[in-house]
Structure 1
Amino acid sequence: MNDMTPVKLTPKDWETDQEVRWCPGCGDYAILKAVQRTLPDIGATPENTVFVSGIGCSSRFPYYVESYGFHTIHGRAPAVATGVKLANPALDVWIVTGDGDGLSIGGNHTMHILRRNLDCQILLFNNEIYGLTKGQYSPTSREGTKSPSTPFGSVDHPAKPAAFALGSGARFVGRGFDVSKNLPDVLKAAHAHKGAAFVEIFQNCIVYNKDVFADFTEKKNADDGQLWLEHGKPMLFGNMKLGGTKGIALDKEKLTLKVVEVVDGDWEAAGVIVHDVTNRSVAHMLVEMPFGAFPMALGVLYDDPVPTFESAVVQQNELAAKGKMPDLQKLVSQGQTWTVGKSGPEL
């Protein structure tokens, strides 16, 4: 009798023979390792997994993951991924893109895949700069960013990827950063969500935008700079060994969020909100919190699934084909056709 016990894969099984080529110290290395650690834990298999990317530093990803992959054209990864999923809905589809690829030329494609709710994971690496093309400012670059294309400083108002996703109708929005030990947990939650799962990953560009996120990613700034959200748990931050010294509460007069002090661990008395991943209104407020006055909201911000695009397409096709027999000759012969003979076409 054959042993049909599935082989337990390891992160090593998801590595390819390709040389990983990013700048030394690039945050992409850490994200790649996080993904390769996540895939065995979710029970993924290489033959059932597809990574689709566009153009940019992040878009080298498919070469480095032992699975099927498509390195497509600028901004169009969502369109290709949609075709893959519709052709075989059983495939596990991941999209890897950047803030330039996914929010500039590909902004409309990102919007439509989110509103359609295709079952896939969208990983948007946000380094707030164009890295591959040598450091021009990107849609997410902050005002005042000096770059080859903005030598006097950018005057653009930056796009907020998580806010963009919510506004486009995303049913799952998460956030993490490249070197965070919690990033695999966010990726697992995104994969568990049935539908389009959008994950913004803050990524350090060591060459063109070094340490732009250090105010909350560095260990010395983590206590006050990071708000890790967990469903059913109070929104606390600060020295977590002491149970958190601060929290996020609702200002009921202004209907906005505010930071409150937590005394003796009594977060309820301070009015701290308990995180509910299905609360879309609070999710909108969390992604709009200005960093500095507030910590950076990380983890799963919103998770409220609805039926997926490809499931609706499959159901529609099944209903259309019900009771019918496939007949290609009948299909091509219907309507006005011509028979071409020796003396010319005959109607």
Structure 2
Amino acid sequence: MNDLTPIEKTTAKDWASDQEVRWCPGCGDYAVLKAVQRTMPDLGVAREKTVFVSGIGCSSRFPYYMETYGFHTIHGRAPAVATGVKLANPDLDVWIITGDGDALSIGGNHTMHLIRRNLDCQLLLFNNEIYGLTKGQYSPTSRIGTRSPSTPFGSVDRPARPCGFALGAGARFVARAIDVNKNLPDVLKAAHAHKGTAFVEIFQNCVVYNDDVFAPFTAREVASEMQLWLKAGEKMLFAGGAKGIALDAETLTLKVVAGDHPAVLVHNPRNRMMAHMLVEMPPVGFPVALGVLYDDPASTFEAAVIEQNDQVSAGKKPDLQALVAKGQSWMVEKEPRAE
């Protein structure tokens, strides 16, 4: 297929494979899968040019359920495999599916380097603050006090903040969403439109080992008060517009003010410092910032590699034999066998 070939129109069903979806009943992964399958027809990409790469964990079954190419790789190494896929064929649309344990424990180093290199891909991090596949041990994002088989008296670790980690690693796109929220497809579309590594943290409920851990801001009765959905160029309002986020000029920290206050901030997704502040808002007295927190494109890793290769090879004729014989090769002579 070339760039002039029109892409056949598809539906959500066209992106669903014939494999039986096997997650625990009520798992948030089902909602994310459906959101992705519904979103793909709107992205203008072909199934044969789409690749889903995953590591290890409940979420990492994802490639089996998409009617695309896919790789179910090893623990924490999905970013490395995805990098190889993109470098081998830059025209492919690459998605990485990972979890909080897969991406931020054994895979933390790989995730960091993917982000700082800015490979053109979408990384969806399913964060349920627990190790679900291995039966409920605490994860890098588990909160202090989390009781689990590996922390029966409560975790004493300070949890990692996925979006803070991404920003610290140099991410050029950072977003947050909720597994069952209607805004998830819009976040996925924004991530896909970004040229470079698009990091999306998805709060995903594990009904078996960490049920309702996000209820303080996802429950229907508190959602309006506790969710701040960000939109570029619009005021940071929540609670039905009754409250807003402003900057305290004395302490240079964020504060909650009345929605009609003149100091309510307007969201600028290119403001990296503000993105950090939104990620670090305290859990008490503040809403959770959702949507696209930061979006400021920069040159991609694969583009730099391709440009360098073109420069190095310009004017040169491929000659494998000459390369093999170029000063750093030798012939191994067969020694005569001793009598």
- Match of 2:294, SS state, is strand
Length, aligned pairs only: 332
Q: Tell me which residue corresponds to 2:272.
A: 280
- Match of 1:96, SS state, is strand
Task: Give distance in 1, aligned partners of 2:99 and 2:328.
Answer: 49
Q: Tell me which residue corresponds to 1:214.
A: 215
Q: Tell me which residue corresponds to 2:61.
A: 60
Task: Give distance in 1, aligned partners of 2:334 and 2:166.
Answer: 61
Q: Tell me which residue corresponds to 1:36.
A: 37
The one-letter code matched in structure 2 to 1:272 is V
Q: Tell me which residue corresponds to 2:253.
A: 256
Distance 1:250 1:327, change over 3 A: same
Distance 1:115 1:341, change over 3 A: closer
Decide whether the 8 Å contact of 2:145 with 2:156 is kept in 1.
yes
Q: CA deviation at 1:261?
A: 1.4
The one-letter code matched in structure 2 to 1:180 is N
Superposed, which structure 2 residues align to 1:26-105 within 5 Å? 26-105=27-106
CA RMSD of aligned residues (A): 1.2
Q: CA deviation at 1:43?
A: 1.1
Superposed, which structure 2 residues align to 1:290-309 within 5 Å? 290-309=282-301
Task: Give distance in 2, aligned partners of 1:198 and 1:6.
Answer: 26
Q: CA deviation at 1:340?
A: 5.7
Task: Give distance in 2, aligned partners of 1:162 and 1:127.
Answer: 14
Task: Give distance in 2, aligned partners of 1:153 and 1:341.
Answer: 66
Gaps of 5+ in 2: none
- Match of 1:220, SS state, is coil
Decide whether the 8 Å contact of 2:7 with 2:46 is kept in 1.
no
Task: Give distance in 1, aligned partners of 2:29 and 2:328.
Answer: 57
Asked whether 1:199 is paired with 2:191, we answer no
Q: CA deviation at 1:96?
A: 0.3
Task: Give distance in 2, aligned partners of 1:12 and 1:95.
Answer: 21
Q: CA deviation at 1:336?
A: 4.5
Task: Give distance in 2, aligned partners of 1:258 and 1:111.
Answer: 31
Distance 1:335 1:278, change over 3 A: same
Q: CA deviation at 1:327?
A: 0.2
Q: TM-score, normalised by structure 1?
A: 0.94
Q: Tell me which residue corresponds to 1:333.
A: 325
Task: Give distance in 2, aligned partners of 1:338 and 1:67.
Answer: 45
Q: CA deviation at 1:202?
A: 0.1
Task: Give distance in 1, aligned partners of 2:75 and 2:270.
Answer: 33
- Match of 1:219, SS state, is coil
Q: CA deviation at 1:6?
A: 3.8
The one-letter code matched in structure 1 to 2:245 is I
Superposed, which structure 2 residues align to 1:144-155 within 5 Å? 144-155=145-156
Task: Give distance in 1, aligned partners of 2:284 and 2:91.
Answer: 43
Q: CA deviation at 1:5?
A: 5.3
The one-letter code matched in structure 1 to 2:274 is V
The one-letter code matched in structure 1 to 2:125 is L
- Match of 1:227, SS state, is strand
Distance 1:223 1:337, change over 3 A: closer
The one-letter code matched in structure 2 to 1:290 is P
Distance 1:261 1:66, change over 3 A: same
Q: CA deviation at 1:321?
A: 0.1
What whole-Å deviation, never above 9, does each CA across 1:31-89 have from its counterpart, x for those lacking one? 00000011101112110000000000000000000100000000000000000000001
Task: Give distance in 1, aligned partners of 2:86 and 2:323.
Answer: 26
Distance 1:285 1:333, change over 3 A: same
Identity fraction in percent: 73
Decide whether the 8 Å contact of 2:7 with 2:44 is kept in 1.
no
Q: CA deviation at 1:7?
A: 2.4
Indicate the larger mover: 29-38 or 216-225: 216-225
Superposed, which structure 2 residues align to 1:134-283 within 5 Å? 134-239=135-240, 244-262=241-259, 266-267=260-261, 269=262, 271-283=263-275
What whole-Å deviation, never above 9, does each CA across 1:231-263 have from its counterpart, x for those lacking one? 000000002xxxx0000000011011000012x
Decide whether the 8 Å contact of 2:7 with 2:45 is kept in 1.
no
Decide whether the 8 Å contact of 2:8 with 2:46 is kept in 1.
no
Q: CA deviation at 1:95?
A: 0.3
Q: CA deviation at 1:215?
A: 1.2
Distance 1:298 1:337, change over 3 A: closer
Runs of 4+ in 1 over 2 A off after TM superposition: 4-7, 336-344
- Match of 2:221, SS state, is helix
Distance 1:338 1:105, change over 3 A: closer
Q: CA deviation at 1:292?
A: 2.4
Q: CA deviation at 1:337?
A: 3.8
What whole-Å deviation, never above 9, does each CA across 1:128-149 have from its counterpart, x for those lacking one? 0000000000000000000000
